[in-house]
Structure 1
Amino acid sequence: MLAGVLPAAQAEILIGGFPPSEETTHPLSVFASDATGADAPLRRLEGPATQLMTPAFGVYEPGEDVIYVSDFYGEAVRVYPARAGGDVAPLRVLNPPSLAQTRASAPVPAHGELLVISTNCCIYTYPIDGAGADVETLRRINWGSETQLNNPIALTYLPASDEVAVIDYDGDGTNKIVFHARTANGFVAPTRVLKSAYTDRARGMAHDPVAGTLMLLTEETVGEDRRALIRVFDADAAGTDAPLRTIAGAATQLSIPTSSAYYPSGLGYDAERDRILVAMTANANPAANRLLVFDAAADGDVAPLQVIEGETLGPGTLGTPFAVPDVREPDDILLRDGFDGP
């Protein structure tokens, strides 16, 4: 290999979800970087030792090399080694009564904090290393008209502005993006709100801090046809600002069958490969589930780079996909200065 040349970035693709019934559990499935079609997962995190019920959301934290998994019906955030598989116990579990059902989390190691959607209404902050049922919150952004929090469904942290953003909706049902200072506490006003026809029917959200963009998965009806769209905004967008670009059209495979049971269920960002990950799910038919992968710089009516589909993704309703960098042997790594690593 030539000096100064790095191998192509690779990252495993992870996705969990909700089981078809309350009596069962849903695995967290791990796929190869180049997985397509009905390819089997490399491994699955599942079994009684994992304690997982509904791994609806996950996020990779590189400093500790772990994943934080939001277990919705398990009412916990469970932390595992980044490349765990099989029936593996979590390294630690955050499950105080104040957490309740949690949809998403964002570790902020620079401040020793974990931001979470708690009790389907609020943004709570816990110590990042918190474990057990007795952990107290550091701060709470509460539900109410002043905070503009109602029933948030996605959460991401923006390090450049030190804000936390969630998808929520107003009393008329119109979706919006609500931003709060990370340090906000109590009944406080948002730092800004992004709300327009571009944010309505939002289903998922992710942030690329390097490009300074906020990606939003939305849905719209054109005539009698429904479709999902990926709208990419400037991370500083507010008010009725328009997106910088939109991924939509027949080639994207983001069309939605007429059945109301099929819908976009989550959006993630793969920072290692600069990819957008989209989950499209069918409540009662896992054979129709799909996970689509797009170039993060894509614009317009473009085809996905990868499509993973069918029951290989899991037995139930899909959650939010995310990515974990592949492990490489030291001999396979060449540093950017041309010297061999690690």
Structure 2
Amino acid sequence: MKLALCVAIVSTLFGVQLAQAACPNDAVFLALQDQIRGYSLRANGATEPCQVLQGPLTTLETAGPMVISKNHFFHVAQFLTNSTVDIFPRKAEGNEAPSRSFMLTMTNDLLSIAVDSYLNDFVLSVRPSEAGVYVVPNNSSGPLANPIHLTDPNVIQYASVAVDNEDNLLIAGYDIRGAAIIDTFGTSRNITSPPLLRSLTGSKTGLLPGAGVFARSNMTLAVDPGTDELFVYNATNDLTQIQVSVFAAKANGDVPPVRTISGPATGISGPSAPGGNKIAISSDGRLFVSEPNLRILAFAPGARGNVAPSQVIEDSTPGPVTQGGIAVRSRGGRQDDGNDDAAR
């Protein structure tokens, strides 16, 4: 009886039922304010999370943009509350402290994050006086007073970052005219002063204008880990137009997307809360979209047009209704060696 009572108390710690074991290898995760929740990639319909990370030891307060490293660690940036990026191991669960954290003491407007295969973090700040991408070397921890700071002269308002399969940095934002632009910098060649490799912009891209709203994720990037195709969630300021545009790998100049997913049947709605990336891609090419009320839309590889999602994952347990960052862990990446600081 005492044992059963203890289990019941632990399973409802912090008001949410905790999973009994970490999620399977193939899983999708949401960063939701003070917690991270995970679900099997096979889930469909009402489901309970297979992994919940929540509690005071996590230090999560306003978890937003999130990415999973090649070694399967969670890298979670917090928006506004503090300037912290927390790193958790793959099986982190319950009230577990991060394995390490670093702080960008010069800014707390952390809108997007990416990690390369060397486990360097690229953290996007949109605070006007410190806007740009901060490059944080692998194994950094504690306050960082003077990290590498990269800026894009073509961008007036920053929106999102990603890293392609060659470890080059993509920076998305809006130019002085309010037009969308996605620049690729050769951080694989030089991480402190990378050359501009490609610039995707122009009327043929079909990317929607969205400048003028500070720190709203009107445009977020995700790269297909298998094909290197670029997925771009983009929306107008008034949210009358919302779409996911898919571009060929290394798309450059004023070129059209290979396909676009948009329309009422998709169920794709407005941007995530400030600091929350909207989309993620699995190794088999499925698109996962974060939505309010603990919902995740999944689209089959090659989906296009006004098409319904192939899966809708709906968390059946209570939790935050606002949508946050999303990240996918799936086969095809580097094997988890249990050490996020073991760079290539």
* TM-score bin, normalised by smaller chain: 0.7 to 0.9
**Does the CA-based 8 Å contact 2:225-2:282 persist in structure 1?**
no
3-state SS of 1:103 partner: strand
Q: 1:156 aligns with which of 158, 162, 170?
A: 162
Which digits, 9 at most, give the CA deviation of each residue in 1:97-139, with x for residues without a partner?
13533222222243x52221135421111111100114642x2
**3-state DSSP of counterpart to 1:251:** helix
Structure 2 residue 42 is matched with structure 1 residue 34: yes
Contact 1:126 1:135 in 2 (8 A): no
Structure 2: runs of 5+ lacking an equivalent: 1-23, 211-217, 332-344
Instruction: Give the Cα separation in 1 of the matches to 2:279 and 2:306.
Output: 20
Give the SS at the match of 1:133.
Answer: strand
1:149-183 CA-partner distances (Å, limit 9, x unpaired)? 333222101233x4211221123333221222213
Cα distance in 1, alignment partners of residues 317 and 150 from structure 2: 38
Determine whether 1:141 maps to 2:155. Answer: no
2:171 match? 166
CA contact (8 A) 2:288 2:297 kept: yes
TM-score calculated relative to the size of structure 2: 0.74
Structure-2 residue corresponding to 1:61: 69
1:178-197 aligned within 5 A: 178-182=183-187, 183=190, 185=192, 190-197=196-203
Instruction: Measure how far apart 1:10 and its partner are.
Output: 5.6
Q: Which amino acid is 2:278 matched to? A: L
The AA in structure 2 aligned to 1:141 is L
| Alignment correspondent of 1:21 | none
2:115 corresponding residue in structure 1 = 107
- 2:29 is aligned, of 7, 10, 14, to 14
The normalised TM-score by structure 1 is 0.74
Letter in 1 for 2:263: G
The alignment partner of 1:15 has SS state of strand
**Residue 261 (structure 2) aligned to one of 233, 236, 247:** 247
CA RMSD of aligned residues (A): 2.9
Looking at structure 2, the residues matched to 225 and 62 of structure 1 have their Cα atoms a distance apart, in angstroms, of: 34
Q: Which residue of 1 aligns with 2:230?
A: 214
Deviation at 1:269, TM superposition (A): 2.9
Residue 293, structure 1, aligned to residue 298, structure 2: yes
Q: How far apart in 2 are the matches of 1:313 and 1:184?
A: 43
User: % of aligned pairs identical?
Assistant: 24
The alignment covers a number of residue pairs equal to: 288
Structure 1 unmatched runs, 5+: 1-8, 19-25, 257-262, 327-342
Give the structure 1 partner of residue 323 of structure 2.
Answer: 318
Conservation of the 8 A alpha-carbon contact between 2:223 and 2:281:
no
Q: Distance in 2 between matches of 1:30 and 1:166?
A: 27
User: What amino acid maps onto 2:325 in structure 1?
Assistant: T
Q: Is the 8 A contact 2:113 2:122 kept in 1?
A: yes
Describe the SS at the equivalent of 2:143: coil
Seen in structure 2, the aligned counterparts of structure 1 residues 109 and 225 have a Cα distance that, compared at 3 Å, is closer
User: Does residue 139 of structure 2 align to residue 129 of structure 1?
Assistant: yes
